[in-house]
Chains A and B, each alone.
Chain A
Amino acid sequence: MSFTREVRPERLIDENGRRTDGRLPNELRPVKLKVGVLGTADGSAYIEQGKTRIIVAVYGPRELHPRHLALSDKAYLRCTYRMATFSVPDRKNPAPTRREREISMVVANAIEPVIFIRDFPRAVIDIYIQVLQADGGTRAAAITAAAVALADAGIPMRNLVTAVAVGKADGQIVLDLNDKEDKYGEGDIPIAMIPGTDQITLLQQDGKFTVEEFKKAMELAKTGIAQLYEIQKEAIRNAYKVVAEESTSAESETAPTESIETMPIQKTEEEAELSKAIRESVSPAHASEPQPQIKEESPQTSEIQPESTLSEQKPNESSEAPVESTEPAKEVTESIESETISSEPVVMPAAIEPKTSEETDKSEADIKPEEAS
């Protein structure tokens, strides 16, 4: 029906080794991930991966209707993947297709292992995935976005899940397929993994791969997942930036050394070395990241995790996958800053006894639930 018929490009990889969109074979598309984009959903996320654009909304755990679907030992994870009628050049019929139902299922299966689903028997967790624009790799992008939307909803999870598609174009193994490579390439392998582990939660394959090619594709996918994981973490931190800054900055103003003092264990240098080594081994995503998007500062004390400084840092500009800095969050910070300044005279007298007043105030949050009246 379209006036210009899409034709297969002569080559998917040119003489310079560049792909149709100018990327190198091991390069991701630019990724933009934003958390908390919807007001009414319990959790939400929006992802742009190249020209692929997806919005994910999460509701729940909530009451399940119809009731007969309820599982008595765990929550029902209901995932709905839909493509908008305008998401592809030729209008997509809005009726759910077999493909959409399949992707709904595999996305749910890819995410279920990380959710503490048994904490919520008889309830449902709804994940709505709406593809606004499809340009390849939608199921992988949907999983990446759904994981952060679930975290945004406050649903307990063991870890995030990150997904990427790898494939074969003009005989070469390439990372993060776009639509043309997906359609005209020789193969496509979407992979979802729990980052920092070797656990795979989704593995599908189209086309033919030799064992060698498959192993190479797997390695490439791991590098892509490591990069996307950093973007996911950054997106969550950005969404809660105001909370993070206020909760720790109030601390350091009044009692800068408290965080170190209250650490119950005095460590020897030897132990510090050891725990540093452990820290690196437990979070390989930081230690052995192939293309770090965020400059890591050297840890200041043995207790402080290098990640603690990330929230204040801007993503590297040259980074191929810039995380959008959330402007609204900035505005809120400013308004709150001005507020804290105005209330400074109030804070000062309390600073005479910073420890006690703060202790009481902080620990207010963890009092036993009790009736108020």
Chain B
Amino acid sequence: MPILLAVYFQKRELVIPGQVLAEGKYRAGEGTFFQKGKIISSLVGLAEIKNNVVRVVPLQGVYIPRVGDIVIGTIIQVGATNWKVDIGGPYLASLHANNALRKPYDDDLAIYMDIGDTIAAQIISFDRTHGPFLTTKERGLGKLRNGMLLEISPAKVPRVIGRKGSMINMIKNETGVDILIGQNGRIWLKSNDPAMLRLAIRAIRKVEEEAHTSNLTDRIHDMLENEKKRGNEQ
């Protein structure tokens, strides 16, 4: 009796929940689950296989916090010792003053960060019953000033960042705009040049729309080059 091994999808095929993807020695990755020896898709998305891990890249979905993620949020409540931060998705995050300020700090936390302020923070803990809890004690985190906020679908964030940041670094280099991406789909942009800011936004929107296509980094690069040329001519 031969060992049963089979892959039931083409590379980057659109799959739907309940579709059997593979069986045998493969492992079930993100967007899939294992049942009775078979790997089955749990999402609508594009299936792929890498190092024997089968996964489905989602096309939709809300932001579910993960420890270590950098997120961008808005303060919606100031408490005695903590801030409540909206980071999108189903869970309201909490930032304790000890994770944001050096002691001793004032009793009134609103003098540091107030309702409506936008912050960049890292998720330090999240489990079924608590959290997520944030910290801003890393370099580059904290209150964001003088920028603007762009919101994209959290499912597209990995694509906007690119492999080892290739996509976002390219957009930064081409436009000179300061960009910070939160895993929760919020992007903070800062630039003194409104034309470049607009161009960066267009590029990010284009990545979001065409996230599923190949050779996207090259195409975005060309788009930016062409637009910059046109801008100079005018």
Residues of A within 8 A of B (CB): 42-43, 60-64, 72-73, 75, 114, 116, 119-124, 151-160, 194-196, 233, 236-237, 240, 243-244, 246-248, 250-251, 254, 258-259, 262-265, 267-268, 270-271, 274-275, 278-279, 282-283, 302-305, 307-308, 311, 343, 346-347, 350, 357-358, 360-367, 369-373
> Are A240's CB and B59's CB within 8 A?
yes
Q: In terms of DSSP, what is the predominant structure of the interface of chain A?
A: mixed
B198 within 8 A of A: no
B200 within 8 A of A: no
> Are B140's CB and A371's CB within 8 A?
yes
Residue of B nearest to A346 (CB): B222
B222 → chain A, closest Cβ, in Å?
A: 6
Given contacts A346-B222, A358-B215, contact A258 B11 (CB under 8 A): yes
Chain B residues lying within 8 Å of A363, measured Cβ to Cβ, are 50, 163
Residue of A nearest to B166 (CB): A364
Residue of A nearest to B14 (CB): A244
Residues of B within 8 A of A (CB): 2, 4-14, 16-20, 23-24, 31, 33, 35, 38, 40, 42-44, 46, 48-50, 52, 55, 57-62, 64, 66, 68-70, 89-92, 128-129, 140, 155, 157-159, 161-169, 172, 178-181, 183, 210-219, 222
Chain B residues lying within 8 Å of A370, measured Cβ to Cβ, are 161, 164-165
Could you pull out 29 A-B pairs where Cβ atoms are within 8 angstroms? Answer: A61-B90, A121-B128, A124-B90, A154-B61, A156-B17, A158-B18, A248-B14, A251-B11, A262-B49, A271-B5, A302-B6, A303-B6, A304-B10, A305-B13, A308-B9, A308-B10, A343-B219, A346-B222, A357-B215, A361-B163, A365-B57, A365-B158, A367-B163, A369-B68, A369-B69, A370-B165, A372-B165, A373-B179, A373-B180
Chain B residues lying within 8 Å of A263, measured Cβ to Cβ, are 7
Q: How far is the CA of A124 from the CA of B90 in the complex (A)?
A: 8
Residue of A nearest to B21 (CB): A305
> Are A63's CB and B90's CB within 8 A?
yes
Chain A residues lying within 8 Å of B31, measured Cβ to Cβ, are 156
Given contacts A361-B215, A372-B179, contact A154 B44 (CB under 8 A): yes
> Are B214's CB and A358's CB within 8 A?
yes
Chain B residues lying within 8 Å of A250, measured Cβ to Cβ, are 213-215
> Are A347's CB and B215's CB within 8 A?
yes
Residue of A nearest to B162 (CB): A364
Chain B residues lying within 8 Å of A62, measured Cβ to Cβ, are 62, 89-90
Chain A residues lying within 8 Å of B64, measured Cβ to Cβ, are 61, 119-120
A107 → chain B, closest Cβ, in Å?
A: 18
Q: How far is the CA of A152 from the CA of B17 in the complex (A)?
A: 10
Q: How far is the CA of A282 from the CA of B23 in the complex (A)?
A: 11
Residue of B nearest to A75 (CB): B90
- Choice from B10, B11, B92, B164 contacting A367 with Cβ under 8 Å: B164
> Are B214's CB and A278's CB within 8 A?
no
> Are B46's CB and A247's CB within 8 A?
yes
Given contacts A371-B70, A372-B180, A373-B178, contact A122 B91 (CB under 8 A): yes
Chain B residues lying within 8 Å of A362, measured Cβ to Cβ, are 12, 48, 214
Chain A residues lying within 8 Å of B68, measured Cβ to Cβ, are 369
- Choice from B20, B164, B165, B213 contacting A247 with Cβ under 8 Å: B213
> Are B10's CB and A369's CB within 8 A?
no
> Are A243's CB and B5's CB within 8 A?
no
> Are B59's CB and A154's CB within 8 A?
yes
Given A240-B44, A367-B164, A369-B68, 19 extra CB contacts under 8 A: A64-B90, A151-B16, A154-B61, A158-B33, A159-B17, A196-B18, A243-B46, A247-B12, A278-B6, A279-B8, A303-B10, A304-B10, A360-B166, A361-B217, A363-B50, A363-B163, A364-B166, A364-B217, A373-B140
Q: How far is the CA of A197 from the CA of B6 in the complex (A)?
A: 21
Q: How far is the CA of A225 from the CA of B129 in the complex (A)?
A: 39
> Are B10's CB and A154's CB within 8 A?
no
- Choice from B59, B62, B167 contacting A60 with Cβ under 8 Å: B62
Residue of B nearest to A63 (CB): B90
> Are A236's CB and B18's CB within 8 A?
no
